[in-house]
Structure formats: C-alpha cells, structure tokens
C-alpha cells in the first residue's frame, strides 16, 4: 500500500559563514498578474506563510498564524529557497551528449556539463527512453522517485513523472518507503493495518484520560515542523498542552532530543543503548508476567499466540529468561528502572507514543512487534488514552479530523501502449498476450525502495520479501523528479558504484543537488513559489484548504515538472500529450477542477457551516478556508470498536485478533524474522562481541531542514560547525578523543569517511553520537564527504527478509580529530561547465 495515498484515503552553535557558490538568479518571464509589491499567501511543508515581495523580488516570509510557543524557524528562508544554488538551464553531461550509446557512466559527477536548448533536451530524453524500452524492455526503466518533492496537489513531481512514464509504457516501481519500511510491513501481520500513517487516539482524549505518556524513540518537537501536505501546527499546540498538564512524561531515547530539552525538568529521560529497545521491552514484559501485573483477560479476548511467546520470554527454549537483569545488560537501563516503568505503565492509563527511528534499524520489525506485545499485556489498547500510537510525531497524527472533504490532485494515470509512434490505448484494454506478459514482468520486478543499489549491481538476483520472491530487474534508465538518492540512500559509496550501471540518468531538479550532479541530463524546475497550486493543510486534521498562489516569476529557464512532462509526452508519441494534459489543460484548470469537486461536496453538506465561493472569487481572495472538527472526531479512540466487539469489528489479521504470534510469518521460515517478537542482535551495536567501530552514530531527522531541503539557506549559519554538519559527541568520549566543540572531526568506518563539526554535549549518551541525515553529499577525490553526509557511513543491508527496509540507525563509527588544512566545501557550488 502506498503510504501517502493511504493517508489521504484513510481520512477522508559556532558557525562560519555560508559559502554560497551559486549566484542569485535573474527574473525570467513575468506573469502580469503577479504581485510586484506586497505579500502573497501560500504554504509549504513547514506551514502557511505570508511571503513579502518588493519590486517583484521575494524579500522574506513569515508564518500566517502561530498556534504555540514552540518555534518553527523553517518558514523564514523563502528568499534563499528561490534564489540560491539554482540550476539555470537544461544541461547535458558532456560524454553523454557526445555519445549517448556509450556515455562513459563512470564520469558521472566529474564530467563537464553542456548547456543545451530546452527543445533539444526534450528530444534527447524522449529518443533515449524509447531506445531503452525498445532494446531492453519495459522493465529496464526505474522511475519510482520515493521522495519529498514539494507540497501542492497538482505539482506533485513524483506523480507527474509516474503519469508520463505510465502513459508511455510503464516503469518498475518501488515498494514501501524509507520512513517506515519495517513498520508498515510487520504491522499488518500483527494489527491488521499499517498503524504508522493512520489516525491515532486523539490528543484531546489523551490529554483528558492518560496519566502517563511515554514518548518512545520519537522527537515530535523536531519532526512536527513539517507535514506531508503542510503542517497545521496543531501537533505543537497539543504538545504545549501536554507540557502544561499534570501527566507524567517519560522519554526513551539515547539522545536528549529537542523534545527531551523541551520537556526538561518535567519529563524523565531514559537512555537505552541504541537498537536495544526490544530487549528493554522484553525485560518489562517478563517483570509484568512474574509479578502478575498484566491483563490476562485482554490477552485471552483480543490476542492470539501469547502461549507461544511465553516460553521464549521465560527462556524455556534458549535457557535465557528475559529478566530485567538480562535486559539491563543489553540495553544499559537499570533493572530498577525497567521494573518501575513496567508497573507504572500497567497501573496507570498510559499512552505509548512510538517514533519511527527504532524500526529504521536492523531487525527493525522487532521493537514494533514487541511494543504491541507489551501494550497487549498492559491491556489498554482501545481504551481512551491507553495503548500505543505510531504517528503522534508525524504530520499531526492525533489531531482531530475535521469533516471537510479532501481536495484531489493529479493522478499517475494507467499504463498506455505505444506502437508505431502512436498512443494505442490503455494496456488493460489491449489483447496482446506478449505485451501483457511484459507488463506483468515489469510490475513483478518492483522492489523495496532501499534495495536500489543492490538492484543496480545485481540484475537477476532473487530475494525474499514478505513471503514472496522478487527477481531484480536490469535497470538501464533512471528518471528522478523530486528526490535526492545521493542524500537518502544508505551506503553512498555502494550507490556510486551501482550508479554506473544504467546508461541514462535524468533528473528534474530545482538546485544543483548531489543527485543532479550525478545525472546525465538535468531539467531546471520551478520552486513552489513560482507556480500555482492548491493544498490541504493538516494531514490528519484536514483543517484548511489553501490556495498556493504563484509568488514570483519563474527563474531563469526553470519550468514546472508539468510543463516538462507535457513536452516529453508530445515528443514521445502522437496522442500522449492530449491525455497527459487532459486536453491541453493549464495548471489553473486542474486546480480549479480539484477545488470545484471539493466545494460541491462541502456546499452540499450544510452541517459544516462553510460556504465555498466560486473558484475565481476564492482564488482572488488568497485566504485559507478553515474547517472545524466535530465532537465525535475529537473523542475518537483508536481500536475502540475492536475492543467493543472483536468479532464484529475483527482486525485484518488472519485470526482477526492481535497476533503476538503470527503463523503466517512463522511459515515463511526466515532466520531474521520469526513467529513472535524477539531480541536479535543487530549487525552493528555497542554490545557486539566483535565491534567494527566504537561509537554508535544515530542519524535522526534534522530539526533545521527537511532532509536535504533548506540545506542551502542561511539557516545553516545557525547550526553548521566549522562549515560542516554538526556531530554531537558525548563529553566523556570527547575528552578521551581530545575533541572540543568547534573542532573538525573525521567520522569513519569500513564503508567510508566524512568530516563533521564537533559539538561536545551531555545530550548524547556515552559511546553514542548524533549526526542528522540530510547534509549535502560533497565527496572529495578520495570519496570523503567534506560536508558530513551520514549516508556515506550507513549500511544498506536489509532490516530482514520480511521488510527489506533500510537500517540507517544501525551504524557504528570511529571518530578522530581532523588534522591538517580543512578542505573547502563544494557542495553548494555549480559543477564544471563546458565553455
């Protein structure tokens, strides 16, 4: 199931100056209706904003409304996002332009770039894509682009790309995502649904009923700065209410995060050894069982398989009872704390708010499965303010849903058939058996997204995945629009090797990102501020419908992804563009149609008390339309119906109940994911007998960016250390290593090396360090990343055969003080141009 679709469907320090190498861009075409002086309202992932314009140039931006005292600085850097580091013209890598059939892929990232005419770039891509499909088959094209692009229902670059690729023959897709790769595969077996993107027991219910709130491996103060459509900020308002309440708050995290600091003095901070939460939970479960502090009735009525889990818990088979003492040795949390916490959670109404980082680890299925097992023993699932939730930290999970309808958006279309240079109809309607077989083969080749490097390197290899077999396709053409694999993929040195396999790589990008630099052909793309769109604000609340009005002229030769793919459709074959553009529609026509459909539903529902005006009027007004939640939605409790009647409202699992033991998984016979939750040693961790390095490097999401996005803005001046990504190093470790705040350090392991800027702190546990994901990859000649991109160091082995998810958080490194002359960054500079 595709996550974002699901979400929609289911709801109705010391810093040196920024070394900016890219010059400011000039004004491209000027739309007469654009505001030249004044302010324009729009929204981005980081919320609704007023963007100010002077003489046609954006000068600043500020939040439209502020609902809490928790700061969100991401909204202040719009001008940098529009004017810095832009790709100005369509560009082709020199060797590719000279000979696309033998394009010297090994020179990607080093070759010179040649500026070409837009029309020529379009022709080139259409021709080479056709050639690839003709020579290598449909399953040789990868265009999944799992990624964060920009908000806006129409200009969704990943969907626009899929629409083009589908209409012209299809592409190999990707399964799952990087966010919850393990969670979304294990949870359907255990809970019958993915849990991770679903609505949670609402915050008002938690605030009224919970006595204890356990924030387990989650940093909502950082991650709620963004939302998948746009944040409504209500998550912040409720966090503030939580802080002002009399609830007991417990934070379980090896790092004292922004959230840890926000609740300082109010919350208890428990710091387990990274990747050992499963062991800690097992210790808690053991203590609850032995002291009879568990809900036997709940286990009997609502779960299956506790009897199969129990022998493991008690150590009947392996001779290792999972006692608090056993757990303590692994997770580093004292026996006393483990016992007290377990009993406290049993005796008080407790909401466990789990984050996603612990499942982005080797055997990442286990902490989730164990957390549910523990919650089942506590017996509070489905009660107001009890149980667990895996989305309180993301896009406003738990914020009550308003009754507004959801505004539609561009769709990925169906697979089309092209013959003799013409669009012949949709594949589903064509009775060509050979073609059908080829399409089936292409679809069956979809692979878990984080396997990308492995796939490129090993075409034809067969892997296990969630009870099925997948045979890797032979990818020869990659198209990326709206993502940054040379930021998000684990083990970038492996990806770099793998990247030499395909003949063609095309990237639509706004900026000269590491991925754009690793392409053969780049199309410069507009920012969301250079085009019209429409968006919901609040992914769980659906609180606003927001016009996203173009703020500023398109810069340089930048074009909307829609324009680029419309032109590619036209160049590819007769009849494709007509369908792609739905009969030559302009962006505003689509936007109006989404609005009109939503407005119709809303206006028919008198109870909402909202009257949507005509589109032109609404658009002209440039104001968000607000919807309120209902009393019923405010009082919503996750799994309450199941608790009320587990037969009538059975879960989607084979038994209809919570599966503490899963026959389905047991029957898969995997060595790395068995029939019930268990502690399995990660490939790398601090307790390993043979350690490959000495410090566990966690890489959470950056509070100051969205992955790599915003990395070019002057916000970086506030956090970069010695012009590198900051790394938090524990005070005792730093002392031993002779490192002080402000030093440049080498961080390395067998997979690679990066430079980072040291921040010595007690906010990380001993032998743990933190470097956030998303620093722009900036390799020197030896492959050392000068800027501090974490994914040079991470491992790309899969979490398990069940999910094949990424395991970013399972990374050991060594740290040393850097000696010699610090290299200058090139991350934010343009690549070499041919003159």
Ligand X SMILES: Nc1nc2c(c(=O)[nH]1)N[C@H]1C(S)=C(S)[C@@H](COP(=O)(O)OP(=O)(O)OC[C@H]3O[C@@H](n4cnc5c(=O)[nH]c(N)nc54)[C@H](O)[C@@H]3O)O[C@H]1N2
| Interface with ligand X, residue 153, by CB under 6 A | no
Please identify which residue in 487, 547, 575, 779 interacts with ligand X, judged by CB under 6 A: 487
Please identify which residue in 375, 413, 510, 815 interacts with ligand X, judged by CB under 6 A: 510
Q: CB of 625 within 8 A of CB of 618? A: yes
**Positions in 374-433 near ligand X (CB under 6 A):** 393-394
When the beta carbons of 196 and 678 are compared against Mo ion, the nearer one is 196
Residues 6+ apart with CB under 8 A from 420: none
DSSP summary character for residue 317: T
Find, among 24, 26, 20, 23, the residue nearest to 556 by Cα: 26
For ligand X, which stretch binds (CB under 6 A), given 6-14, 310-318, 353-361, 818-826? 353-361
Please identify which residue in 132, 328, 380, 508 interacts with ligand X, judged by CB under 6 A: 508
Residues 6+ apart with CB under 8 A from 135: none
| Interface with ligand X, residue 217, by CB under 6 A | yes
Q: CB of 805 within 8 A of CB of 359? A: yes
**Positions in 129-188 near Mo ion (CB under 5 A):** 179
Per-residue x/- mask for ligand X, residues 250 to 289, rule CB under 6 A?
A: --xxxx-x--------------x-xx-x------------
**Residue 34: how many CB atoms within 10 A of its CB?**
15
Residues 6+ apart with CB under 8 A from 750: 692, 693
φ and ψ at 725, to 5 degrees?
-65, 135
Rounded Cα distance between 333 and 79, Å, is: 47
Find, among 475, 561, 480, the residue nearest to 516 by Cα: 480
**Positions in 80-99 near ligand X (CB under 6 A):** none
When the beta carbons of 179 and 366 are compared against Mo ion, the nearer one is 179
Per-residue x/- mask for ligand X, residues 681 to 720, rule CB under 6 A?
A: -----------------xxxxxx-xxxxx-----------
Residue nearest to Mo ion (CB): 179
Selection from ligand X, Mo ion, none that 803 binds (CB < 5 to 8 A by kind) is: none
Selection from Mo ion, ligand X, none that 733 binds (CB < 5 to 8 A by kind) is: none
| Interface with ligand X, residue 790, by CB under 6 A | yes
| Interface with ligand X, residue 743, by CB under 6 A | no
Task: Write the burial class of residue 305 (CB in 10 Å: 0-12 exposed, 13-18 middle, 19+ buried).
Answer: buried
| Interface with Mo ion, residue 275, by CB under 5 A | no
Residue 707 CB, shortest distance to ligand X, in Å, is 3
| Interface with ligand X, residue 162, by CB under 6 A | no
Residue 216 CB, shortest distance to ligand X, in Å, is 6
**Positions in 15-54 near ligand X (CB under 6 A):** none
Find, among 68, 70, 73, the residue nearest to 49 by Cα: 73
Rounded Cα distance between 350 and 300, Å, is: 21
Rounded Cα distance between 169 and 141, Å, is: 10
Classify each residue of 3-16 as buried b or exposed e, where b means 16 or more C-beta atoms within 10 Å of its C-beta. bbebbbeebeeebe
**Positions in 430-469 near ligand X (CB under 6 A):** none
Rounded Cα distance between 586 and 594, Å, is: 13
Count of alpha carbons within 13 angstroms of residue 601, beta-carbon side? 12
Rounded Cα distance between 255 and 358, Å, is: 13
Instruction: Report, in angstroms and rounded to the nearest whole number, the Rg of the chain calculated over CA atoms.
Output: 26
| Cα dist from 455 to 497, 498, 514, 784, whole Å | 12, 8, 21, 24
Find, among 711, 693, 666, the residue nearest to 802 by Cα: 666
Rounded Cα distance between 145 and 6, Å, is: 18
When the beta carbons of 370 and 442 are compared against ligand X, the nearer one is 370
Residue 258 CB, shortest distance to ligand X, in Å, is 8
Q: What is the dihedral sign for C-alpha 654, 655, 657, 659?
A: negative
Helix (H) or strand (E) holding 269: strand 267-270
| Interface with ligand X, residue 357, by CB under 6 A | yes
| Interface with ligand X, residue 481, by CB under 6 A | yes
**Positions in 546-575 near ligand X (CB under 6 A):** 561
When the beta carbons of 651 and 698 are compared against ligand X, the nearer one is 698
Selection from ligand X, Mo ion, none that 508 binds (CB < 5 to 8 A by kind) is: ligand X
Please identify which residue in 78, 155, 373, 535 interacts with ligand X, judged by CB under 6 A: 155
Residue 490 CB, shortest distance to ligand X, in Å, is 6
When the beta carbons of 178 and 618 are compared against ligand X, the nearer one is 178
Selection from ligand X, Mo ion, none that 226 binds (CB < 5 to 8 A by kind) is: ligand X
Residue 166 CB, shortest distance to Mo ion, in Å, is 24
When the beta carbons of 216 and 289 are compared against ligand X, the nearer one is 216
Rounded Cα distance between 552 and 567, Å, is: 23
Give percent helix, percent strand, percent coil of the chain, each to the nearest 5. 35, 20, 50
Per-residue x/- mask for ligand X, residues 112 to 151, rule CB under 6 A?
A: -----------------------------------xxxx-
Please identify which residue in 163, 465, 676, 809 interacts with ligand X, judged by CB under 6 A: 809
When the beta carbons of 199 and 223 are compared against ligand X, the nearer one is 223
Chain Cα centroid distance, residue 601: 31
Rounded Cα distance between 72 and 350, Å, is: 29
- Report the length, in residues, of the chain: 835
Residue 396 CB, shortest distance to ligand X, in Å, is 11
Residue 523 CB, shortest distance to ligand X, in Å, is 8
For Mo ion, the binding residues (CB under 5 A) are: 179
For ligand X, the binding residues (CB under 6 A) are: 147-150, 155, 157, 178-179, 216-219, 222-223, 225-226, 252-255, 257, 272, 274-275, 277, 355-358, 360-361, 393-394, 481-484, 487-488, 508-511, 513, 525, 561, 698-703, 705-709, 773-774, 790-791, 794, 808-809
């Amino acid at each position: 199931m595709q996550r974002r679709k699901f979400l929609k469907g289911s709801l109705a320090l010391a810093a040196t100056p920024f070394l900016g190498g890219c010059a400011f861009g000039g004004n491209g075409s000027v739309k007469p209706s654009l505001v030249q002086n004044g302010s324009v309202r729009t929204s981005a992932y980081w919320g609704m904003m007023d963007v100010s314009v002077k003489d046609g140039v954006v000068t600043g931006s500020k939040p439209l409304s502020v609902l809490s005292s928790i700061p969100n600085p991401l909204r202040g850097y719009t001008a940098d996002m529009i004017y810095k580091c832009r790709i100005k013209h369509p560009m082709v890598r020199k060797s590719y332009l000279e000979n696309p059939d033998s394009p010297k892929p090994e020179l990607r990232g080093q070759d010179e770039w040649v500026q070409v005419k837009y029309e020529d770039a379009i022709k080139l891509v259409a021709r080479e894509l056709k050639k690839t499909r003709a020579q290598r088959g449909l399953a040789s094209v990868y265009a999944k682009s799992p990624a964060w692009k920009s908000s806006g229902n129409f200009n969704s670059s990943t969907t626009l790309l899929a629409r083009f690729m589908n209409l012209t023959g299809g592409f190999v897709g990707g399964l799952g995502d990087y966010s919850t790769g393990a969670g979304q595969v294990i949870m359907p077996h255990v809970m019958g649904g993915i849990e991770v993107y679903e609505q949670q027991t609402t915050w008002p219910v938690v605030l009224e009923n919970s006595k204890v709130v356990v924030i387990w491996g989650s940093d909502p103060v950082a991650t709620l700065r963004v939302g998948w459509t746009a944040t409504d900020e209500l998550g912040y308002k409720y966090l503030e209410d939580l802080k002002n309440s009399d609830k007991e708050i417990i934070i379980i995290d090896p790092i004292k995060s922004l959230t840890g600091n926000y609740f300082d003095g109010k919350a208890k901070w428990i710091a387990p050894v990274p990747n050992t939460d499963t062991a800690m939970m097992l210790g808690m479960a053991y203590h609850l069982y032995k002291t009879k502090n568990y809900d036997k009735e709940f286990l009997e009525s609502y779960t299956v398989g506790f009897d199969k889990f129990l022998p493991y818990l008690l150590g009947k088979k392996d001779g290792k009872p999972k006692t608090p003492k056993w757990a303590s040795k692994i997770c580093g949390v004292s026996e006393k704390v483990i016992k007290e916490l377990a009993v406290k959670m049993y005796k008080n109404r407790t909401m466990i708010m789990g984050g996603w980082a612990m499942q982005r680890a080797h055997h990442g299925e286990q902490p989730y499965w164990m957390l549910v097992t523990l919650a089942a023993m506590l017996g509070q699932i489905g009660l107001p303010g009890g149980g667990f939730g895996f989305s309180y930290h993301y896009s406003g999970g738990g914020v009550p849903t308003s009754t507004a309808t959801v505004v539609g958006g561009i769709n990925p279309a169906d697979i089309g058939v092209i013959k003799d240079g013409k669009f012949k109809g949709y594949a589903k309607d064509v009775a060509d058996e050979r073609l059908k077989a080829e399409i089936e083969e292409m679809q069956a080749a979809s692979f878990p997204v984080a396997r990308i490097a492995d796939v490129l390197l090993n075409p034809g290899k067969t892997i296990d995945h969630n009870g099925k077999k997948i045979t890797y396709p032979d990818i020869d053409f990659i198209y990326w629009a709206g993502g940054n694999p040379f930021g998000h993929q684990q083990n970038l040195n492996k990806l770099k090797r793998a990247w030499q396999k395909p003949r063609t790589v095309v990237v639509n990008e706004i900026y000269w990102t590491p991925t754009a630099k690793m392409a053969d052909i780049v199309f410069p793309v507009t920012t969301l501020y250079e085009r019209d769109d429409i968006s919901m604000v609040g992914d769980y609340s659906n609180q606003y419908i927001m016009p996203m009005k173009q703020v500023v002229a398109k810069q340089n030769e930048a074009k909307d992804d829609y324009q680029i793919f419309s032109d590619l459709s036209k160049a590819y074959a007769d009849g494709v563009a007509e369908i792609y553009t739905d009969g030559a529609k302009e962006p505003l026509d689509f936007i109006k149609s989404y609005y009109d459909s939503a407005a119709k539903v809303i206006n028919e529902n008198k109870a909402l008390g909202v009257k949507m005006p005509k589109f032109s009027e609404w658009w002209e007004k440039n104001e968000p339309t607000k919807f309120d939640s209902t009393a019923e939605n405010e009082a919503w409790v996750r799994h309450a119906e199941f608790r009320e009647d587990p037969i009538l409202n059975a879960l989607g699992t084979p038994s209809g109940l919570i599966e503490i033991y899963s026959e389905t998984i047991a029957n898969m016979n995997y060595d790395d994911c068995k029939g019930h939750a268990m502690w399995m040693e990660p490939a790398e961790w601090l307790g390993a007998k043979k350690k490959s390095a000495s410090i566990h490097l966690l890489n959470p999401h950056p509070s100051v960016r969205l992955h790599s996005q915003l990395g070019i803005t002057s916000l970086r001046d506030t956090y970069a250390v010695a012009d590198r990504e900051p790394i938090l190093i524990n005070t005792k470790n730093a002392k031993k290593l002779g490192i002080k705040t402000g030093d440049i350090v080498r961080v390395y392991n067998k997979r690679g090396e990066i430079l980072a800027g040291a921040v010595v702190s007690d906010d990380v546990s001993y032998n743990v360090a933190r470097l956030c994901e998303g620093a722009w990859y900036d390799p020197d000649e030896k492959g050392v990343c000068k800027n501090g991109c974490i994914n040079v160091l991470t491992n790309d082995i899969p979490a398990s055969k069940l999910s094949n998810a990424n395991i970013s958080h399972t990374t050991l490194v060594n740290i040393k003080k850097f000696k010699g002359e610090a290299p200058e960054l090139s991350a934010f500079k343009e690549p070499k141009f041919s003159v």
